[in-house]
Structure 1
């Protein structure tokens, strides 16, 4: 690799842009050509996702697409963004553990407590072992620097919530994949603008984009023979990687006063990160609040997710995903536009818009029902 860098330097080509192109192309191609084999094996071995109470599909579909995603990200990130694995020693180990747990859950369905234990181990490895944690709240609720162990606990909980939150929004075609693509693009652009020191994270974001694009080609397919879901393997992996990139994003804006490293400070950085990841955060919190209000266990399966509400309006999976992602992109744009206002006010506005979006389908559903009732009464 050093010889290649030297050669490219001599001809005036930046190795970073070569890695960007190669990372995107190879991540796309590896996923694209891996998935048909996984579909074939899944059907031959009867490793299919069975329709259930909370499912929004009616047919048996292969659900091991996450294996191709791990395969692609693991290979391409190791080759093109190897600096990440030097800096964060437990990053790859955490991904391997999530792969094992996800595949086990997709095939035999693991007990919830076993998955939680595995997620705690993974989160602990990356937070304590690699020191990826939320160190500072930038004045949110009057809190700035957080004590080390409080920071560790808070960061582990954040990882666990986001890993499971992405798993929960993976209920219709294109939603988890499409939203992950958007989040990776937003974080990648931000890292690129923040300078060369963050280029490995830019490359990781591009690799995720290439991988997810190839997966979406099959996930959004109208042909049953080529359709696949990412399963818990894919959703947990994406949730973990986006939590990782989100916390790294916040960390960049802390003025560490380290020699040789550019210093940045934007007080609204944590809220911008929340805005980018707002859909899984709001959807999960809203569902838990509704379940507790109705005196049900937070872990009970139901159809109170935002995507379920849009399906009740007789929208297709594609349209539902498009509307959800479109609305939450507006929230990101709003948070970015208002990034210089008081950080607590910005957080309040972001969360209000997030929860408001979760109830917009309910307003339309009620309007639809009232209109139908009035039509029936007028005809009678």
Structure 2
């Protein structure tokens, strides 16, 4: 009962605080005439405030104090008190650097190399100070122990990759927030099952923050974007959850139903939408001899919207459901499947996704669907005018 009260207070606090801050931020940005200007890639037609990520950072900073004070609620945290405090100290420098860099990039665009350098520094600071590392893959692809230096490099790579992946999928209303809610909920559930109250609490806070933000991001009258400020903070926290999940102790893994050797594949399934989109976009751009960091409309969310003529909400819902279904499928199979069999199935799943989006781009059948839908919409509009 006490734990239920604690989680309710934490969730309500994160939701209400973010819900209070976002309109204030939006009003301030409008009064100062600071907004994201529409361009050839944009789906919005008017300048839109894009500093919603400020609320993410503020709520996180305050929630750290509340989470660290869980002992006052009588919560018996499975993690040592030192580990919780250590993680907070490890998080703050990286979060602050990314917050400042993202804030500047949302107001005055920065060069991609500058953002990448900030991401690497933030990731390195976290990995250097964090008490855990990915030092054992428990038989994944036959790999057991990992050299500490290599383990640190892998952790830095994961953090930077997740930050950029989240940044890249934040291209339509609701998508980054929707898939992030699913990913934080999954990580949170996993940490809850093994009694990692601290990590579970952070995931709970992020879900509350994102639900509050989503209400405004999908609004037609009070719209706001999270901007790079929000997407980089969001990506950093998801990367931290992924590293924490991959570095679980054998005693923690024994409490989970999935086989330890399948842990990396389950992590890949949780992050499948942002990672699949990022890898696919980079391959497409490089094959066309374009700068892989140069923005265009080759993302999977842009393809779905352009080819099927559906709204941002529907596209975000489809991709969110897809992410959820992949997590469920891989997690169920990870309980008893051999590592190599599950890896083969996961690769086949990625190939099916790749084939699907290839067919959308190359097959005229989808163009016919788009034209038919457009024609039907025009006919419905004419009928409504006649009836009125």
TM-score of the aligned structures, taking structure 1 as reference length: 0.87
8 Å CA contact 1:181, 1:212 repeated in 2: yes
User: Partner residue of 1:352?
Assistant: 348
- TM-score of the pair, normalised by structure 2: 0.85
* Residue in structure 1 matched with residue 155 of structure 2 by the alignment: 155
1:310 is matched with which residue: 304, 308, 313?
304
- Please, which runs of 5 or more residues in structure 2 have no aligned partner? 70-80, 373-388
After TM superposition, which residue ranges in structure 1, 4 or more long, deviate above 3 angstroms?
81-85, 261-265, 361-365, 370-374
Ranges in structure 1 where 5+ consecutive residues have no aligned partner: 1-12, 375-380
Return closer, same or farther for 1:371/1:284 CA change in 2, 3 Å cut-off. closer
Output the aligned Cα RMSD.
Answer: 2.1
> Matched residue of 1:347: which SS?
helix
> How is 1:4-43 mapped onto 2 (pairs within 5 angstroms)?
13-14=1-2, 16-43=3-30
Provide the residue aligned with 1:282 in structure 2: 276
Q: Give me the whole-angstrom Cα distance separating, in 1, the residues matched to 2:42 and 2:140.
A: 38
Asked if 1:232 corresponds to 2:232, the answer is no
Q: Does the 8 Å contact 1:286/1:355 carry over to 2? A: no
Q: Residue 309 of structure 2 contacts residue 370 of structure 2 at CA under 8 Å; is this kept in 1? A: no
Distance, in Å, in 1 between the alignment partners of 2:243 and 2:370 is 47
Tell me whether 1:245 sits opposite 2:241 in the alignment: yes
Work out whether residues 94 and 122 of structure 2, in 8 Å CA contact, stay in contact via their aligned partners in 1. yes
Q: CA separation in 2, counterparts of 1:34 and 1:287?
A: 34
Q: Partners in 1 of 2:143 and 2:272 — Cα distance?
A: 21
Q: What is aligned with 1:9? A: none
Residue 176 of structure 1 corresponds to which residue in structure 2?
176
Per the TM alignment, residue 44 of structure 1 is displaced from its structure 2 partner at its CA by: 1.3
2:34 is aligned, of 47, 70, 75, to 47
Secondary structure of 1:268's counterpart equals helix
Choose 329-338 or 60-69, whichever is displaced more: 329-338
Q: What is the DSSP-based 3-state SS (H/G/I as helix, E as strand, rest coil) of the residue aligned with 1:267?
A: helix
- Alpha-carbon displacement from aligned partner over 1:129-186 (angstroms, at most 9, x marks no partner): 1144322233333222111111111111111010010000000111000111111111
User: Are the structure 2 counterparts of residues 359 and 318 from structure 1 closer, same or farther at C-alpha, using a change threshold of 3 Å?
Assistant: farther
Deviation of the 1:128 alpha carbon? 1.3
> 1:24-61, CA deviations, whole angstroms, 9 ceiling, x for partnerless residues?
00100110010111011111112101112332322211
Asked if 2 retains the 8 angstrom alpha-carbon contact of 1:23 and 1:77, the reply is no
Query: How many equivalent pairs are there?
Result: 352
